[in-house]
Structure 1
């Protein structure tokens, strides 16, 4: 390893955090958070590193950022900026005041389609800019895989690239101007600078003149060395961009600051170049014997100027198969064990196809032509890109392999050298006993990989250090860059002298010192960095608390909740703000603690135990989980399948052990009890629920929002009327209908519709009696001992049928999800439970599974599928059922309706519930024509739509009956 002084310790001498917090609160227009929970939330990013910040500031304006820096300087506090928090090298965590720009400073300020530029705030999500620019057939070229939730400030900090950099280059190649502020309060706009302008700035003097004079001196002193030592490859990102100060690059100070990772300035605003976005796109997939052969042929494909050229190896595909991630996408691959994904652009699809076919003709003439497949369907092309973007999710937490980590995840060499580099890199991995799938931006020579480093034992960490040292030697030998997208942070920065030599490293120190003379901006990152094994999130001191007893068995995490706390890798997919299933509370609040990642980070800290020390009594964890809707969107959409609904239920069960719970836990968590009572005396129940005054008292006692209407009990539950109609001699049913408490008590018409439809299809239907207990509500409130008893009772009722293989049909998605999802996790060795899991189906699932053709019905449908229906059942079944009937179906809301069982009924959650519903669902319902059918199978979804719009909402079973009646 390169020589390095003793381990860095950047001490903030005489810092008084209390006084600093107090002044920030008084003077800054923003949110100031120095509490333990907030500090724990921001202690790490997507990297291997962890540093507890002094505090967190979320400024509402540029002026608030400037004021934050002014106060921090007065107190001598270190500062680091953060956008989406997806850094992989530790650059967005530090023992500093952390400025989160993403919540408020997230606007696209201007788009000028004529001059092809945009102005943005640093917290702007990349796709927000791209979506607006696409209206003018323009785009911001760099597009990392995190494009739907990363921020442009983070991209500027890292000098990010992405799949389409072969078309548009790196972030640095697309920056026109930056408005920045230094730690000592100098605010300026920087960009290209002519010699006359440079001379005028220096002559004007002051701090700005001093900086520009110093930059000119660096240029003049080191220009020849920069020209000779900087790698001439498409993806050189490591180190500072001193090459941008050269005369041939117009002394571009903005470009020189790109990639400085918050170590020099804080960005307030950016003016960015927009490029033509070819509307016609064609995807060509090429199969090779292995990934090395694919890399060898990159230059053959680049001749045809693709707008993207990506590569994946067979190991990545195997990981996708092992983890059952989008298996349907794998069928699109042509023969091979290594693949290139080439995307071509044109003014229309015909032109892009023409270029792709020319490439195919030329490739067929090679001595060893690849297998090929050109895709004509936009849906298939989308699937191909989803396959490529599965990289992170597929390579993290692979069953049967050790956990994998970043650390050497984005090195690059010249594309023409890629095949040779990959062969040697693979040998290096094997020599160190490490495994990694290889994929990435092959057209730019950039390789991504997560590696099975052991970051817990001394032997493993020593091996990690040796590997990094040798991997850096390999990259230098190939004339490459340690970072081609993710930056240096502290994971790779220690090796920069191998690339640049001592003189250029001194030049970079001088560059930093010009901007940050006090070295208070994100110290220990990029220049004079911490060592790669300092500040590890794990490390040899990682000795987490092991919970002795849990209700859930966590089968995917070696039976350990502690192990499950390592599942989140911090990539932040849960922070998406458009077309997102998870995380609905983050969508409504833009709060890190309301994201799946934020909650997972706090649970990790709870188990780590050296900062949050209260274990099951942690108020910080409780507060973060409070607004989790238990929708299970994360179980479905998170790349590593974090299951926050399960974590929440487990935590609540222990937090409230021996304690009184909040009122809603008793009023709604025990709804099965109250539902039974109410269904027996519906008149009295409706008097209590509907009569003004009495109703308000009931709501107050139950912790229910005053704005909510209480559901009205049906005059006669389905189980009572069905019992009289069903023949007593029915001993050999072919299907069982499960009368859940919600439909039975409030919507018996749905159960009647399902019964009639199943009978018309020729089934002998047994109605489960007596009514089984409600199993979902107690789980959501963490009443797991009670929930297990209720589940066991239901299983006992179902066991005579499922032992004979009789399928059970449910109408309520949240209830069937318990038997399919929670039952195996809570009672993994219960044989009748296994039979129930195997034979439980939602109504629409069952009809589609059996291949039934329901009667035809014309019209339009606005469909809201229940979250559990989408997350753990066959979510497409309801949509497929309705389209099979001939209906035109739209699903305006990708995620939760906001009601989420009883979540939206709770007094202090009502507002968030409505905000979530207003994302897309309620506006779409209001716009729907009166004759449009509104369909939702979930009781909570029907309630949310009905109460907010006064429109009738049907269960899919009722729509099927309508079709039968109309036949």
Structure 2
């Protein structure tokens, strides 16, 4: 133990002295890099984020001197376990060693660094009308280096081929420091010149590879299955003379076991100007596989299949089919031909021409790797038998026999994948808590034999890794397995590069991550955390490079894996495991990772498996601070509802507000535990519930349908004008707003600070306060203006969930009751203009506004009602791209969060507001309005209720 610790310290010191990039051997970093998207856990020695090729060279040289293996890693989405390696030095090439260095439109090629995310390459190629053909579902985060390492494919490979078909040259670094560039097929003369003219270690390597091929021509020609998606093992048949001694192809798919990538030249293809998506439904996945054979001669751009269980709600307006095909075609004759052929098969058909609607369908397919891990009954399913491929003409039979094999072992799963090339993805409900019961091993060995019997490959893309490496001996004869070992030995004789994969592989049922996270070992409260640690399967939707995304805002700012939803889930798993993170609920590593969690809840909706980090954070903080002092902000802002009521009872609201704006503001911030860099919101003289506007709203007064108006803390005490506006609008729409007969609160501020017992007591008091009203009117709706409160009241544990409506939802449901007012609003609504500024639009145009959607509304409530309401009232609501404003309740007020909070706002929100300085801005969330006011030069954002109030006709209308 001491020697390994000293080795790690020595290597870390040497790396810090030699590299410009980041070096981190800390517990948290090792924990989050111990996982990829597979079933395996392998704890590395440390992590390096190289900033240049020189950093890569130096890191490899130092690792070699210290006898430490090296693992190159991209987005960490490998499903076979090839992106984790025990005791290795991980080189995270995605972090800082990325970029498209050149696009050559004439040659239709691009030069890329290994950490380049695929979507970045596509963005660089698109202006030239070009595209990189292979596009796996992880395109928003997977790297070119990872795609080359695993020979990734994606849905368009049916027309543009695998990564191996699109690599032109590779710049390589060997473990011994040798560098060379290998390219595609060579003529006999070029091959001879290469072998004669290359000096030194590179020349020895090339001649050794040539000799290996020449001495085994028969084996290479006869023992490698010929099918579109053979990725398993090393592509040694690419070294055959008739294949042009194609070293670039032979190295693609070697999973970082032979060489490290410093750069690559890849081929680009012409991008069709317009595409149509034909969605076809069949009886089951086997019928789908049979149907696709008749369609392949039409050369569709995609031929993706999915089992019906993955899309229980249907696709593109179709419901009921047990199997689906997604067939993309060029718009025009090509698309019409595909549609006619599908209809002739008797399939259910939907033709999707709108690009936005197409993207929505593709998101369902891209999320399948995550959604397939949870069955409708809540049971878990796991990778382990992914990416198998057979000749397309054998696919239907293979799927039927695969179903039979699963049933024989008491297993189930839903297939999906690239049916046009015979490639199948499958998540299966293995009992990985108890892998030694024999069923896991028994099924996988039987399934491997089944694939081989159908002339297929264990892997049709994304490589083998630990999941399939041991099974290669069931696919290839012993002589081929020996050649794999000889091939790796020529490249990496010291076995320093990703050892234990492909050659001398670790057992596929070893090193599994699940067994130490058994639910029965933990008390009831901890079960949610166990579920979160297990639920994350590592597909990495939270580490996307897309700026217009809600999940995960803290990762988007820091670019640190431990600040992603995935990284935090991994750390929670290590906390519960206890052998790496050893201090349990007192873990500083977990506390630090969760500290920058915005609790935005976007992961609860945007993560394919719905990892709800906001809930896990609350439960962790509940335990972390048990029997120990809490930060003051947990009592001040975390107890905001009670504190504001107390200030008003003591008539201290205005004095405290004035003090906050005086030179004593920093002192007040220190006392409150908030940052000095951000002013606290002002406290108006009167709360909404204290104002004369509420007379008649508390149950007396004119008629109309009663509705309980929820006086949330933020609206009641800090921005009562919002609740006043809502009262006016509700009355004009024929409602009679009713207020609770006492304080009510959803407990959100206590929940987010981990004071779960207090939050529970708050909710109980609220229910007692509401009981008379709710008992008197079982149909009484509750309209909640603050999205975060509405989301909390809609939570599964809330007995009020079925009654809660957002402001837009309530009006949308009731518009038909007031047609005259609706017509008047649509006619009378006039675009606003500010003094000394130009009008937003022409007088006869629709009233227009930019809309910032609150994160909790995005995650829990949705915006469908807002869109319908706007359409019916003739309003032009332009949704800003989804993103977090960055304030997130108390997050932006907490010391140490200021920079992250501002950076989150700068990603999308603030640039969008600067681009339209005169536009009306709508933001239903108090946090969003506060962030806009404080960071956008005092710009005033409105709640929807305020905007509607301004546009209401002033003259009374009859029959309202």
TM-score (norm 2): 0.92
8 Å CA contact 2:632, 2:673 repeated in 1: yes
8 Å CA contact 1:89, 1:491 repeated in 2: yes
Q: CA deviation at 1:13?
A: 8.1
8 Å CA contact 1:678, 1:713 repeated in 2: no
For the residues of structure 2 that align with 1:594 and 1:542, how far apart are their CA atoms? Answer: 22
8 Å CA contact 2:287, 2:396 repeated in 1: yes
Which residue of 1 is the match for residue 855 of structure 2?
867
Name the CA shift for 1:716/1:408 in 2 (closer, same or farther; >3 Å).
same
Q: CA deviation at 1:605?
A: 1.3
Deviation track 1:186-244 (CA, whole Å, cap 9, x = no partner) reads 12222135545544454443111111111111221223321222111111111112122
Q: CA deviation at 1:727?
A: 6.5
Q: Which stretch shows the higher mean deviation, 232-241 or 717-726? A: 717-726
8 Å CA contact 2:413, 2:427 repeated in 1: yes
Q: CA deviation at 1:538?
A: 2.7
Matched, 1:413 2:390: yes
For the residues of structure 1 that align with 2:309 and 2:694, how far apart are their CA atoms? Answer: 60
8 Å CA contact 1:865, 1:878 repeated in 2: no
For the residues of structure 1 that align with 2:949 and 2:550, how far apart are their CA atoms? Answer: 30
Which residue of 2 is the match for residue 131 of structure 1?
123
Q: How does 1:476-491 map to 2 (within 5 A)?
A: 476-491=452-467
Which residue of 1 is the match for residue 910 of structure 2?
922
Q: How does 1:657-668 map to 2 (within 5 A)?
A: 657-668=626-637
For residue 877 of structure 2, the aligned residue among 874, 880, 889 is 889
For the residues of structure 1 that align with 2:66 and 2:787, how far apart are their CA atoms? Answer: 55
8 Å CA contact 1:334, 1:371 repeated in 2: no
Q: Secondary structure at the match of 2:216?
A: helix
Matched, 1:64 2:55: yes
8 Å CA contact 1:102, 1:122 repeated in 2: yes
Q: CA deviation at 1:105?
A: 1.6
Which residue of 2 is the match for residue 50 of structure 1?
41
Q: How does 1:216-615 map to 2 (within 5 A)?
A: 216-317=210-311, 321=312, 327=313, 329-330=314-315, 332-333=317-318, 336-345=321-330, 349=331, 351=332, 354-362=333-341, 369-400=346-377, 402-458=379-435, 460=437, 462-539=438-515, 546-550=521-525, 560-578=528-546, 579-615=548-584
Q: How does 1:789-800 map to 2 (within 5 A)?
A: 789-800=761-772
Q: Secondary structure at the match of 2:31?
A: helix
Q: CA deviation at 1:589?
A: 1.3
For residue 691 of structure 1, the aligned residue among 662, 675, 678 is 662
For the residues of structure 1 that align with 2:471 and 2:77, how far apart are their CA atoms? Answer: 22
8 Å CA contact 1:899, 1:941 repeated in 2: yes
For the residues of structure 1 that align with 2:770 and 2:528, how far apart are their CA atoms? Answer: 30
Q: Which stretch shows the higher mean deviation, 83-92 or 771-780? A: 771-780
For the residues of structure 2 that align with 1:383 and 1:68, how far apart are their CA atoms? Answer: 42
Name the CA shift for 1:748/1:190 in 2 (closer, same or farther; >3 Å).
same
For the residues of structure 2 that align with 1:12 and 1:724, how far apart are their CA atoms? Answer: 74
Q: CA deviation at 1:372?
A: 3.0
8 Å CA contact 1:298, 1:443 repeated in 2: yes
Which residue of 2 is the match for residue 830 of structure 1?
none
Which residue of 2 is the match for residue 937 of structure 1?
924
Q: Which stretch shows the higher mean deviation, 159-168 or 394-403? A: 394-403
Q: Secondary structure at the match of 1:580?
A: coil
Name the CA shift for 1:727/1:58 in 2 (closer, same or farther; >3 Å).
closer
Q: CA deviation at 1:548?
A: 2.5
For the residues of structure 2 that align with 1:585 and 1:180, how far apart are their CA atoms? Answer: 34
For the residues of structure 1 that align with 2:606 and 2:224, how far apart are their CA atoms? Answer: 41
Which residue of 2 is the match for residue 164 of structure 1?
156
Which residue of 1 is the match for residue 842 of structure 2?
none
For the residues of structure 2 that align with 1:961 and 1:749, how far apart are their CA atoms? Answer: 11
Q: CA deviation at 1:16?
A: 1.1
Q: CA deviation at 1:382?
A: 2.7
Q: How does 1:754-833 map to 2 (within 5 A)?
A: 754-773=726-745, 775-803=747-775, 804=777, 805-821=779-795, 824-825=796-797
Which residue of 2 is the match for residue 4 of structure 1?
none
For the residues of structure 2 that align with 1:796 and 1:842, how far apart are their CA atoms? Answer: 22
Matched, 1:751 2:723: yes
> Unpaired runs of 5+ in structure 1?
1-10, 322-326, 553-558, 826-832
Q: CA deviation at 1:966?
A: 6.3
Root-mean-square deviation (Å): 2.2
Q: CA deviation at 1:169?
A: 0.4
For the residues of structure 2 that align with 1:451 and 1:962, how far apart are their CA atoms? Answer: 56
Q: Which stretch shows the higher mean deviation, 180-189 or 385-394? A: 385-394
Q: CA deviation at 1:58?
A: 1.1
Name the CA shift for 1:339/1:196 in 2 (closer, same or farther; >3 Å).
same
Which residue of 1 is the match for residue 616 of structure 2?
647
For the residues of structure 1 that align with 2:123 and 2:632, how far apart are their CA atoms? Answer: 44
Q: CA deviation at 1:545?
A: 8.1
8 Å CA contact 2:281, 2:322 repeated in 1: yes
8 Å CA contact 2:232, 2:457 repeated in 1: yes
Which residue of 2 is the match for residue 209 of structure 1?
203
Name the CA shift for 1:893/1:416 in 2 (closer, same or farther; >3 Å).
same
For the residues of structure 1 that align with 2:866 and 2:615, how far apart are their CA atoms? Answer: 25
Deviation track 1:261-298 (CA, whole Å, cap 9, x = no partner) reads 11111112121111111122112223323221221222
For residue 17 of structure 1, the aligned residue among 1, 4, 8 is 8
8 Å CA contact 1:545, 1:607 repeated in 2: no
Q: Which stretch shows the higher mean deviation, 779-788 or 881-890? A: 881-890
Query: How many residues are treated as equivalent by the alignment?
Result: 919
Q: CA deviation at 1:466?
A: 1.5
For the residues of structure 2 that align with 1:943 and 1:729, how far apart are their CA atoms? Answer: 32
8 Å CA contact 1:543, 1:608 repeated in 2: no
Q: CA deviation at 1:436?
A: 1.1
Q: Secondary structure at the match of 1:691?
A: coil
8 Å CA contact 1:682, 1:714 repeated in 2: yes
> Unpaired runs of 5+ in structure 2?
830-845, 956-960
Name the CA shift for 1:56/1:544 in 2 (closer, same or farther; >3 Å).
farther
For the residues of structure 2 that align with 1:939 and 1:71, how far apart are their CA atoms? Answer: 52
Matched, 1:719 2:689: yes
Q: How does 1:731-750 map to 2 (within 5 A)?
A: 734-750=706-722
Name the CA shift for 1:756/1:13 in 2 (closer, same or farther; >3 Å).
closer
Deviation track 1:174-194 (CA, whole Å, cap 9, x = no partner) reads 111111211111122221355
Q: Which stretch shows the higher mean deviation, 915-924 or 847-856? A: 847-856
Q: Which stretch shows the higher mean deviation, 725-734 or 135-144? A: 725-734
Deviation track 1:364-390 (CA, whole Å, cap 9, x = no partner) reads 55xx64333333333433333233234
For the residues of structure 1 that align with 2:787 and 2:610, how far apart are their CA atoms? Answer: 20
Q: Secondary structure at the match of 2:623?
A: helix
For residue 75 of structure 1, the aligned residue among 58, 66, 90 is 66
Matched, 1:148 2:118: no
Q: CA deviation at 1:358?
A: 2.2
8 Å CA contact 2:30, 2:47 repeated in 1: yes
